[in-house]
């Protein structure tokens, strides 16, 4: 055990002063984090568009009762069966030899549409991105368009306040005339559905919707409730049944799998049974639809062909359709006015869709019915446009409406009138899509200005804070008052100007940020003038930031970003290799060459695990899962994952032994604790693999229970237990050896060497591992957080994260051997931050919404349970950035020994930690700045929403993740410094 000096021997004033220094140093990364947040807010307000919603509620206009208006006969009842993620090609069969599992399963809709074309029809149901369930439900019920930013609220559905056909049904027929079973998202959108009862009988049966690992509970529950409800058809007017199994099968296993076929066969049986139940009831309409589709892996959220092409099936025992081509494509929002006419309710006020021609024409192809419906919808859209100030200046669309109205009043050519009204509606829809793509450029520029100013401030801070001031607390004490006063002044000025210009939020945010930066500039003159030498390594670090940022100027480079990052890291590795050969000491030269070669290999290997995005096909092959059409990990990945549980602790041990630091707490923490945790992580994913096997269905519930037991134990140990033990105990990796020198003294006396005898202590003390006291202590905390992140990764992602830890340790060893920590303190933090982005791609992610691994939200619970759900998603998605930020203090601590009884030296170490943190922030902030600039310039690019917007969102999320990790790591580094000072002070 290490020798502990009694606390009483440590001057209390020094301990208090050191504690103050470590605490106040936190203000530096916190301030830069705040600047980045404010810049992101302003840029996002101008770029990520939102759609203004009008609160008006539609009522039937006089046109409904006009003698010239003839509408289709309405139905008394409507059954809406929503099969989540029902892709269009799931409805059908194949005679061309295609044996995909999803074919020839859900065949009833297609068979009926062919055999009874006046009773049934199948449509290609085109969704507007983002293809997430909540946004699709809003569009399917209101007829409005979602915007890109709406995708972020998929886990946080807010009540729909705008007009919708659901609201019209509830208001015109009473809350008790609806019935519902399925996805509880509907109740968050339409709370009134929860009041659906009839004669004290409940007609609402919601189920939690986000447990994508559960394929059967919701579907079985929905099916068990809809049959009794169907038998009581006089008790309701609209029945909504939302099935989730197909969507969950896609997320869990992929579309072309036996599990998907099983679910589609189940849905086919449901549709067939409902058709049979209403085949003698010509007053009931059946609507079967998908809210979106899925890509080849079973995910959705983006705008690929598979994601936007859902299926729609209409059926009634009464002939009500004009026969249609089975490949006919319609917009999803077209269902809203169509259902409104078939339910005999007003078309919702905000609707932008057009009536489905086949349902309006009817079997007799009566164009007067279609023209009448199109006229009413056109009037509704015209009324919406007249209430919306954004439509000013769209005279061309108004001319089409005037021409159609004139034709209605002067002609009986209803086919031409229908064409004119439909042209008006389509042109209006096009105008709306263009109009809601209008960016608030001043807000975007304001955000970029803050980013530029904060980036410059980071560089100035890094360049001036190099030891010319005694400690970080002195530096902060000099600048904090100026920064605070400048921020308050800027806030006040911004509030005044913003009030006058009606841009209050933007002006306040801009004024607060720029005021604090100007305060920093004002305070700089009080600091000593410093000339920091710029080494070639510093130039290389800044060049890496520039080269990475330039990638955002091209959509092709953004698509293939992972390969470019691999090139940058390999190039840096070769630079290290060249520098290694110049070392004069042969032993150090051999070690540096070895680690440089390892670093190069690691950089290349990190490029291998991948999930390909749509734009990379066919030049990319996904290898992250068992197959390109699956979301289940392979057996090989599991075997390698267990291998990392054995090898990674051994690798960490080898690095600690280079400084004799595998002592004290290290064997227990790394050799035993980390290995057991990683083995349990492997056990969890093994249970998941077995559960995914179709032959294990009988034991699925038991396996699920075991999984949650293992994951919760691991969560408690890695997120709570280990960090708390570290925080409270400061487990030093030291060993104290005592040597009895009595024999040596006696021998010296016998030899007449009185001087040696008098100078030799009777007992000598040697502390093994002293040379890496800080590094080994902090490394224990780092591997604990790594274990938590690894738990939240899929197996291949966990392997990649183990590789990231190994590569960080390799870089640290090179930094020590080549003296990079002293020559250029910015280079290693920059490279670690660069590695964070590289390993983001290596963990199965891309800069796309569809690559978010939503299923990990249920690692710890069967349903959405904050904060556990959010911890899993954050660690899974942003884990590499978090680990990168947490690793930064190691660039200071690695192989750093304490200075006993020198609290000024301890304060200086804290200053180096702060400076290293700003180095990583320079990289993250510079990358986000270039992303913002390129996104502003390319905002009218064809691929802006498909490529540049998701990459900006990733840049924004990563800079906040790294900044927060820097703040956290700075705090823990301060605690480590205090703990070491308590022992050696």
Give the model confidence (pLDDT) of 900-910 as tens digits: 767 778 888 99
b/e map of 286-306 (b: 16 or more CB within 10 Å)?
A: bbbbbbbbbbbbbbbbbbbeb
Q: Is the pLDDT higher at 587 or at 618?
A: 587
What does the DSSP 8-state code read for residue 528? Answer: P
Band of pLDDT at residue 263, cut at 50, 70 and 90: very high
Whether pLDDT at 157 is above 60: no
| Top-confidence residue, 201 or 792 | 792
- Cα–Cα distance for residue pair 484/490, rounded to 1 Å: 10
pLDDT digits (tens, 9 = 90+) for 82-111: 999 999 989 876 655 567 888 889 999 999
Q: How far is CA 440 from the centre of its chain?
A: 24
Q: In the prediction, which pLDDT does 466 show?
A: 65
pLDDT digits (tens, 9 = 90+) for 23-44: 888 999 999 999 999 999 999 8
Instruction: Reply yes or no on whether the pLDDT at 210 is more than 70.
Output: no
Averaged pLDDT of the chain: 85
Q: How far apart are CA 477 and CA 457, in angstroms?
A: 17
| pTM listed for this prediction | 0.82
599 Cβ contact list (under 8 Å, min separation 6) = 569, 572, 573, 576, 807, 810, 811, 814
Residue 18 has pLDDT above 50, yes or no: yes
Distance CA 254, CA 480 (A): 54
Q: Which DSSP string corresponds to 699-732?
A: GHHHHHHHHHHHHHHHHIIIIIIHHHHHHHH---
CB 251 within 8 A of CB 854: yes
What pLDDT is attached to residue 500?
66
Flag whether pLDDT at 6 surpasses 60: no
Give the pLDDT confidence score for residue 412 in this predicted structure: 84
Residues pairing with 314 in the sheet = 121, 287
| 322-326, 688-692, 757-761, 925-929, range with greatest mean pLDDT | 925-929
How much is the average pLDDT of 111-125?
Answer: 92
Query: Quick check: 917 and 799 in contact, CB under 8 A?
Result: no
Predicted pLDDT at 2: 37
Closest to 50 in 3D by CA, of 394, 390, 349: 390
C-alpha–C-alpha distance, residues 581 and 583, integer Å: 6
Q: If we measure between CA atoms, which residue out of 285, 286, 173 comes closest to residue 235?
A: 173
User: Do the Cβ atoms of 373 and 357 come closer than 8 Å?
Assistant: no
Please list the residues that pair with 635 across neighbouring strands: none
3-state helix, strand, coil in the chain (%, to 5): 65, 5, 30
Q: Is the pLDDT of residue 617 over 60?
A: yes
Task: Give Cβ neighbours of residue 204 (< 8 Å, ≥ 6 apart).
Answer: 179, 180, 181, 187, 193, 194, 195, 196, 197
Burial pattern 233-266, b for ≥16 Cβ within 10 A else e, equals bebbbbbbbbbbbbbbbbbbbbbbbebbbbbbeb
Which of the two residues, 939 and 847, has the higher pLDDT score?
847
Q: Give the C-alpha separation, 765 to 460, whole Å.
A: 45
Q: How confident is the model at residue 7 (pLDDT cuts 50, 70, 90)?
A: very low
Task: Show Cβ contacts of residue 103 under 8 Å, excluding neighbours closer than 6 positions.
Answer: 89, 92, 93, 94
Which tokens sit at 763? 């007992």
Half-sphere exposure of 926 (CA within 13 A, CB side): 24
CA 237 to chain centre: 40
Question: pLDDT tens digits for 443-471?
Answer: 999 999 999 999 999 998 888 876 534 56
Give yes or no for a contact between 118 and 320, defined as CB atoms under 8 angstroms apart. Answer: yes
The token pair at 719 is 């997120």
Specify the pLDDT at position 203. 81
Q: Which residue has the higher pLDDT, 695 or 39?
A: 39
The fraction of the chain above a pLDDT of 70, given in percent, is 88
Q: How confident is the model at residue 898 (pLDDT cuts 50, 70, 90)?
A: confident
Mean pLDDT confidence for 71-77: 89
- Helix (H) / strand (E) element for 80: namely strand 77-83
Pairwise CA distance, residues 630 & 471, whole Å:
55
Contact 494, 508 (CB under 8 A): yes
Tokens, residue 288: 């079967």
Residue pair 219/85 in contact (Cβ under 8 Å)? The answer is no
Cβ(883)–Cβ(803) below 8 Å: no
Copy the structure tokens of residue 917.
């943190």
Closest to 52 measured CA to CA, from 460, 389, 518: 389
Structure tokens at 38: 């404010």
Q: Choose between 59 and 524: higher pLDDT.
A: 59
Reference 851, options 560, 641, 553, 631; nearest CA is 631
Residue 45 neighbours by CB under 8 Å, 6+ apart:
440, 443, 447, 505, 506
SS3 981: helix
- Start-to-end CA span in the chain (Å): 17
Please give the structure tokens belonging to residue 459: 């560089």
Chain CA centroid to CA 765, Å: 53
Q: Which two tokens stand for residue 585?
A: 């000491």
* Helical segments of 232-366, H only: 245-252, 258-278, 305-308, 335-343, 357-361
User: What gap in Å lies between CA 375 and CA 408, rounded to an integer?
Assistant: 8
Q: How high is the pLDDT of residue 201?
A: 61
Contact 22, 978 (CB under 8 A): yes
* Contact (Cβ atoms closer than 8 angstroms) between residue 949 and residue 846: no
Cis amide leading into 139 (omega within 30): no
Q: Are 469 and 490 in contact (CB under 8 A)?
A: no
User: Cβ of 435: how many Cβ atoms within 10 Å?
Assistant: 16
CB 113 within 8 A of CB 313: yes
User: Between the CA of residue 804 and those of 662, 801, 955, what are the distances in Å?
Assistant: 21, 5, 20
Name the residue with higher pLDDT: 522 or 967. Answer: 967
Question: Which pLDDT band, with edges at 50, 70 and 90, does 199 fall under?
Answer: very low
- Quick one: angle between helices 675-692 and 635-657, nearest 10? 170
Cα–Cα distance measured from residue 268 to residue 104, given in angstroms and rounded to the nearest whole number? 10
DSSP 948: I
Look at residues 404, 282, 421 and name the one whose alpha carbon lies nearest to residue 355.
Answer: 421
Q: Which residue has the higher pLDDT, 359 or 62?
A: 359
pLDDT one-digit tens code per residue, 810-860: 999 999 999 998 888 899 999 999 999 999 999 999 998 878 888 888 888
Q: What is the pLDDT of residue 409?
A: 87
**What pLDDT does 32 receive?**
95
Contact partners, residue 773, CB within 8 Å, separation at least 6: 661, 732, 733, 734, 896, 897, 898, 980, 984
Q: Report pLDDT for 216.
A: 83
The pair of three-digit structure tokens given for residue 946, joined into one six-digit string: 């498909």
Average pLDDT over residues 528-533: 59
Of these ranges, 148-152, 377-381, 504-508, the one predicted with the greatest mean pLDDT is 377-381
Structure tokens, 80 = 């809406």
**What span, in angstroms and rounded, lies between the C-alpha atoms of 853 and 611?**
11
Q: Cβ neighbours of residue 188 under 8 Å, at least 6 residues apart?
A: 134, 157, 158, 159
Strands 178-183, 204-207: pairing is parallel
Q: What is the pLDDT of residue 156?
A: 45
pLDDT in tens, 407-429: 888 888 888 989 999 999 898 88
Lowest mean pLDDT among 376-390, 559-573, 804-818: 376-390
Q: What pLDDT, on a 0 to 100 scale, did the predictor assign at position 745?
A: 67
* Cα angle value 576/578/582 (rounded, 5°): 105
Top mean-pLDDT range of 167-176, 556-565, 760-769, 876-885: 876-885
Do the beta carbons of residue 63 and residue 375 sit within 8 Å? yes
* The pair of three-digit structure tokens given for residue 369, joined into one six-digit string: 């019915």
Residue labelled with tokens 């004669």: 199
According to DSSP, the residues that pair with 242 across neighbouring strands are 82, 182
């Amino acid at each position: 055990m290490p020798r502990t000096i009694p606390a009483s021997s440590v001057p209390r004033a020094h301990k208090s002063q050191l504690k103050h220094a470590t605490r106040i140093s936190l203000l530096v990364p916190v301030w830069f984090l705040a600047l980045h947040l404010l810049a992101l807010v302003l840029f996002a307000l101008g770029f990520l568009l939102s759609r203004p919603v009008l609160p008006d509620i539609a009522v039937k206009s006089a046109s409904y009762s006009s003698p010239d208006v003839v509408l289709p006969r309405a139905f008394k009842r409507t059954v809406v069966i929503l099969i989540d993620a029902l892709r269009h090609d799931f409805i059908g069969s194949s005679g061309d030899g295609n044996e995909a599992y999803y074919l020839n399963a859900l065949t009833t809709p297609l068979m009926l549409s062919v055999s009874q074309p006046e009773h049934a029809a199948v449509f290609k149901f085109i969704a507007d991105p983002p293809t997430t369930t909540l946004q699709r439900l809003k569009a399917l019920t209101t007829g409005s368009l979602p915007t890109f930013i709406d995708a972020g609220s998929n886990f946080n559905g807010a009540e729909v306040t705008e007009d919708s056909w659901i609201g019209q049904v509830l208001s015109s027929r009473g809350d008790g005339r609806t019935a519902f079973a399925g996805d509880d998202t509907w109740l968050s959108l339409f709370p009134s559905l929860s009041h659906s009862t009839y004669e004290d009988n409940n007609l609402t049966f919601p189920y939690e919707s986000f447990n994508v690992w559960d394929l059967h509970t919701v579907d079985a529950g929905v099916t068990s409730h809809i049959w009794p409800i169907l038998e009581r058809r006089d008790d309701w007017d609209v029945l909504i049944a939302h099935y989730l199994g197909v969507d969950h099968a896609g997320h869990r296993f992929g579309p072309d799998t036996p599990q998907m076929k099983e679910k589609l066969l189940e849905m086919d049986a449901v549709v067939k049974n409902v058709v049979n139940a209403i085949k003698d009831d010509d007053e009931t309409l059946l609507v079967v639809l998908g809210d979106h589709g899925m890509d080849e892996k079973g995910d959705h959220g983006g705008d690929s062909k598979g994601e936007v092409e859902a299926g729609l099936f209409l059926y009634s025992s009464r002939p009500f359709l004009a026969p249609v081509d089975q490949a006919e494509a319609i917009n999803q929002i077209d269902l809203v006015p169509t259902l409104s006419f078939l339910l005999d309710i007003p078309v919702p006020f905000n609707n932008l869709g057009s009536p489905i021609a086949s349902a309006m024409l009817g079997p007799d192809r009566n164009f007067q019915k279609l023209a009448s419906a199109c006229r009413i919808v056109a009037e509704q859209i015209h009324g919406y446009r007249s209430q919306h100030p954004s439509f000013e200046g769209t005279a061309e669309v108004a001319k089409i409406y005037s021409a159609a109205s004139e034709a209605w009043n002067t002609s009986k050519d209803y086919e031409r009138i229908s064409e004119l009204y439909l042209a008006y509606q389509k042109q209006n829809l096009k105008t709306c899509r263009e109009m809601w793509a209008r960016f608030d450029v001043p807000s975007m520029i304001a955000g970029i200005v803050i980013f530029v100013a904060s980036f410059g401030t980071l560089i100035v801070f890094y360049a001036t804070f190099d030891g010319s001031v005694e400690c970080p607390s002195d530096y902060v004490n000099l600048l904090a008052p100026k920064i605070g006063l400048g921020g308050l002044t800027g806030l006040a000025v911004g509030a005044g100007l913003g009030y006058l210009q009606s841009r209050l939020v933007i002006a306040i945010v801009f004024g607060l940020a720029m005021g604090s930066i100007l305060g920093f500039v004002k305070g700089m003159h009080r600091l000593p003038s410093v000339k920091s030498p710029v080494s070639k390594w510093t130039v290389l670090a800044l060049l890496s930031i520039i080269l990475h940022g330039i990638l955002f100027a091209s959509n092709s480079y953004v698509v293939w970003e992972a390969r470019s990052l691999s090139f940058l890291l390999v190039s840096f590795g070769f630079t290290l290799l060249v520098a290694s050969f110049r070392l004069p000491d042969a032993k150090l030269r051999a070690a540096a060459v070895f680690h440089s070669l390892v670093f190069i290999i690691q950089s290349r290997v990190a490029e291998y695990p991948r999930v390909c995005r749509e734009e990379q096909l066919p030049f990319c092959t996904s290898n992250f899962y068992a197959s390109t059409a699956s979301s289940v990990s392979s057996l090989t990945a599991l075997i390698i994952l267990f291998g990392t549980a054995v090898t990674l602790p051994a690798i960490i041990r080898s690095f600690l032994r280079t400084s004799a630091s595998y002592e004290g707490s290290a064997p227990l923490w790394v050799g035993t604790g980390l290995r057991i945790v990683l083995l349990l992580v492997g056990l969890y994913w093994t249970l998941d693999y077995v559960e995914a096997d179709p032959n294990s269905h009988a034991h699925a519930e038991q396996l699920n229970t075991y999984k949650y037991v293992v994951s919760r134990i691991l969560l408690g140990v890695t997120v709570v237990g280990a960090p708390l033990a570290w925080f409270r105990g400061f487990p030093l990796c030291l060993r104290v050896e005592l040597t009895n020198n009595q024999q040596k003294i006696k021998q010296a006396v016998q030899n007449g060497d009185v001087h040696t005898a008098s100078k030799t202590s009777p007992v000598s003390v040697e502390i093994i591992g002293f040379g890496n006291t800080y590094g080994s202590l902090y490394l224990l905390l780092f591997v604990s957080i790594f274990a938590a992140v690894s738990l939240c990764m899929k197996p291949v992602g966990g392997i990649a994260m183990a590789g990231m830890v190994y590569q960080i340790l390799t870089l640290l060893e090179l930094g020590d051997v080549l003296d990079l920590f002293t020559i250029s303190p910015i280079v290693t933090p920059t490279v670690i931050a660069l590695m964070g982005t590289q390993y983001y791609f290596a963990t199965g992610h891309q800069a796309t919404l569809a690559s978010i691994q939503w299923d990990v939200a249920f690692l710890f619970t069967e349903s959405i349970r904050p904060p556990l759900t959010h911890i899993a998603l954050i660690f899974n998605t942003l884990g590499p950035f978090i680990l990168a930020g947490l690793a930064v203090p190691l660039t200071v601590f690695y192989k750093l020994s304490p200075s006993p009884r020198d609290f000024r030296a301890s304060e200086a170490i804290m200053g180096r930690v702060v400076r290293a943190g700003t180095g990583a922030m320079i990289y993250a902030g510079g990358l986000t700045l270039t992303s913002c600039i390129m996104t502003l310039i390319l905002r009218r690019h064809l691929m802006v929403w498909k490529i540049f917007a998701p990459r900006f969102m990733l840049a924004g999320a990563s800079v906040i993740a790294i900044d927060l990790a820097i703040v956290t790591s700075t705090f823990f580094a301060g605690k480590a410094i205090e703990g070491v000072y308590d022992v050696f002070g």
